[in-house]
Structure 1
Amino acid sequence: MDRLRAFEVFVTVVSRGSFTRAAAVLDTSPANVTRYVNELEAHLGTRLLNRTSRSLSLTESGETFYARCKSILDDVAETEGLVSSASVKPRGRLRINAPVSFGIRYLAPLWPEFMRMYPEVELDVALIDRVVDIVEEGFDLAIRISRAGSTNQAARKLATSRNVLCASPAYLARSGYPATSADLTRHRCIGYSYAATGDEWQLIDSDGRAHTVKVDCHMHTNNGDTARAAALAGHGVIRQPTFLVGNDLRAGTLVQVLPEYRLPDIDVLALYPSRRHLSAKIRAMIDFLVEAFGGLPPWDRAEGT
């Protein structure tokens, strides 16, 4: 069995919704299309399609296999283009993972422009706050918020964001302003579930000395906007990046706590599987994001600049 041809037949059947229509597109007979799909299912030892006289639908295994086959065929087309043309046009499905809050605030407004520039690229964006395995989970690109310099994967830096401690004026009026890092132990704090250091917050003083404080978190969340909402409502101190709370600090709805201390910066990175060829669609997206976030990042710009 020609597996690459079988992949092509299977993807065409799914996209066209019919063995007969797939046969017409592929310039072959319906019987030949049926043979390829049957041989593919026999080779894999699983059913990929549910068939009735009137409709086709993917099985659970079929859904996973279809996504991977489509990605493989896209990569093959681009690889062929590398040797047949001096310039490769970005095309095909591009699976991107990004954190929820960052993805909604700073990436979602960019996608329409990217799609206008590259109409043959099909975006598939998954917003997930946990750290995904981009190879195992089949992503072409991941936007990762990471402590500066902490990744050893193939990556391109897009921007840097400061981390800050902050709370609402109402909370600070009730509980007082901490004067030293040790004072944080007497305050109610809101923790981020995916933080690498957990409830131990590291602060760096003006002499460069690091102070690690075990804080009392009466709430934990795996989403930065949820922590921000709790802080805005007066429920405690948060440690969050300026891309999330920068506007609140400028508006005065949140107030920076212990501004004389510095927290470790975080990088905004575009990660991609180092074992894979950097295809035209991935390169186009990375270059597009580098330009979009170039210079002073949007979260640190004053309103209207």
Structure 2
Amino acid sequence: MSRLPDLEAWAIFAKLAEIGSFTGTAAELGISVATVSKAIHRLEQRVGATLLNRTSRRVMLTELGNHLARNATDMLVNAEHMETEAKSQTSTLAGVIRIAVPMSFGFRHVAPLLPDLLKKYEGLSIDLHLDDSIVDLIGGRFDLALRIANLADSSLRVRRICNVRRLLVGSPEYFQKHGRPEHPNDLVHHDCLGYVYLPTPGVWRFIHEQSGETVSVVPSGRLRANNGDALTASLCAGLGIAVQPEFTIWKELEAGALEAVMLDWSLPHLTLNAVMPPGTLRPARVMLVTDFLVEELRKALWAYYKYHKDE
């Protein structure tokens, strides 16, 4: 397997050819004269020829050295341009940001925030990906994702935004007809609408707020969906009850179209998180959008709805 080019040595050689002095090159690059000398020696060993003749006062390039110096200078200039462009891309508030967001949450709470952001920063572009499944941030080249879950430890960078409470809800008409469940075991007599991306979609786990009693039930019903909003119409039509996060149904609760029941029993809370790929250095535009979304979503009205109890 061939070795990679000694790019550092070629860069030092290009600077030496420009300045014409080992001492001057070392001072220009902030390295020692010995480091410059060793770099030139490595190159001569690699190419198998002398690249320069050194006297007590000056450096003279050989014919081969003079030819290679032009290529080395082009390489150094291109590398400097590449670094300059990269710094510009990471320091300016312009460019494309790819964001992955759960579908219902994205429609209801992220998309309405974007107009103000895009108006304020005209060079910014947002590629918003709406999907309730968990996307691969690295494979999908996403700069940022919002995830509603209790996240396991990983190499991803996580910023916690707020808790997400889940409620057991149904319409007043449904409860008039079928009664209000008071204990999780009562749910066996109810039509339970299912959301397939719950942490445990086949089991609903409840804990009593006072006694600490835990009860697990297996819900059954005539409707399952991979999006929480898809259940709302059937809930409001009195076709069943469902476990829904506050951000999905808080307006229906406020309007009286839905009611929360069994409030002395809670389901495990989830957390709204901003998740980014590994690493600590991020373009300024990514940090800008992340900070904006975290700040705005922490002020969301649904997070302070009357059914939400203080943590």
TM-score, normalised on structure 1? 0.68
Q: Tell me the residue number matched to 2:114.
A: 111
Q: Which stretch of structure 1 is more off in the superposition, 271-280 or 179-188?
A: 271-280
Matches within 5 A, 1:114-133: 114-133=117-136
Contact 1:159 1:268 survives alignment (8 Å): yes
The counterpart of 2:243, out of the listed 239, 243, 246, is 239
Task: State the distance in 2 between where 1:107 and 1:132 align.
Answer: 17
The counterpart of 2:171, out of the listed 141, 161, 168, is 168
CA gap of 1:218–1:302, structure 2 versus 1, over 3 A, is closer
Aligned to 1:90, the other structure's residue is in SS state: coil
Correspondence 1:213 to 2:214: no
Contact 1:158 1:269 survives alignment (8 Å): yes
Matches within 5 A, 1:8-23: none
What do you get for the CA RMSD once the two structures are aligned?
2.3
Q: Tell me the residue number matched to 2:103.
A: 100
The counterpart of 2:87, out of the listed 58, 70, 80, is 80
Q: Tell me the residue number matched to 2:234.
A: 230
CA deviation after TM superposition for structure 1 residue 76, in Å? 6.8
Q: Tell me the residue number matched to 1:270.
A: 274
Task: State the distance in 1 between where 2:301 and 2:276 align.
Answer: 24
Contact 1:96 1:126 survives alignment (8 Å): yes
Write out the 4+ residue segments of structure 1 that deviate beyond 6 Å after TM superposition: 75-78
Contact 2:250 2:305 survives alignment (8 Å): no
Correspondence 1:252 to 2:259: no
Q: Tell me the amino acid that sits aligned with residue 192 of structure 1.
A: Y
Sequence identity of aligned pairs in percent?
32
Q: Tell me the amino acid that sits aligned with residue 270 of structure 2.
A: I
Task: State the distance in 1 between where 2:122 and 2:83 align.
Answer: 19
Contact 1:98 1:127 survives alignment (8 Å): yes
CA deviation after TM superposition for structure 1 residue 135, in Å? 0.8
Q: Tell me the residue number matched to 2:62.
A: none
CA gap of 1:146–1:302, structure 2 versus 1, over 3 A, is closer
Correspondence 1:192 to 2:192: no
Could you list the runs of 5+ residues in structure 2 that have no partner in the other structure?
A: 1-81, 307-311
Task: State the distance in 1 between where 2:284 and 2:162 align.
Answer: 22
Task: State the distance in 2 between where 1:167 and 1:132 align.
Answer: 31
Q: Tell me the amino acid that sits aligned with residue 165 of structure 1.
A: L
CA gap of 1:78–1:222, structure 2 versus 1, over 3 A, is farther
CA deviation after TM superposition for structure 1 residue 294, in Å? 2.8
CA gap of 1:77–1:272, structure 2 versus 1, over 3 A, is farther
Aligned to 1:104, the other structure's residue is in SS state: helix
Task: State the distance in 2 between where 1:198 and 1:266 align.
Answer: 14
CA deviation after TM superposition for structure 1 residue 129, in Å? 1.4
Contact 1:199 1:217 survives alignment (8 Å): no
Q: Tell me the residue number matched to 1:89.
A: 92
Could you list the runs of 5+ residues in structure 1 that have no partner in the other structure?
A: 1-74
TM-score, normalised on structure 2? 0.67
Equivalenced residues, count: 223
Task: State the distance in 1 between where 2:228 and 2:83 align.
Answer: 39
Correspondence 1:139 to 2:146: no
Decide which structure has the larger Cα Rg and report it: 2
CA gap of 1:209–1:282, structure 2 versus 1, over 3 A, is farther
Task: State the distance in 2 between where 1:162 and 1:77 align.
Answer: 47
Contact 2:208 2:214 survives alignment (8 Å): yes
Contact 1:92 1:122 survives alignment (8 Å): yes
CA deviation after TM superposition for structure 1 residue 91, in Å? 1.8
The counterpart of 1:159, out of the listed 157, 162, 181, is 162
Task: State the distance in 2 between where 1:115 and 1:265 align.
Answer: 33
Q: Deviations over 1:100-133 (max 9, x none)?
A: 1111111111101111232222111111111111
Contact 1:246 1:300 survives alignment (8 Å): no
Q: Deviations over 1:210-268 (max 9, x none)?
A: 21111113211001111111111111111010101111112111111211111111211
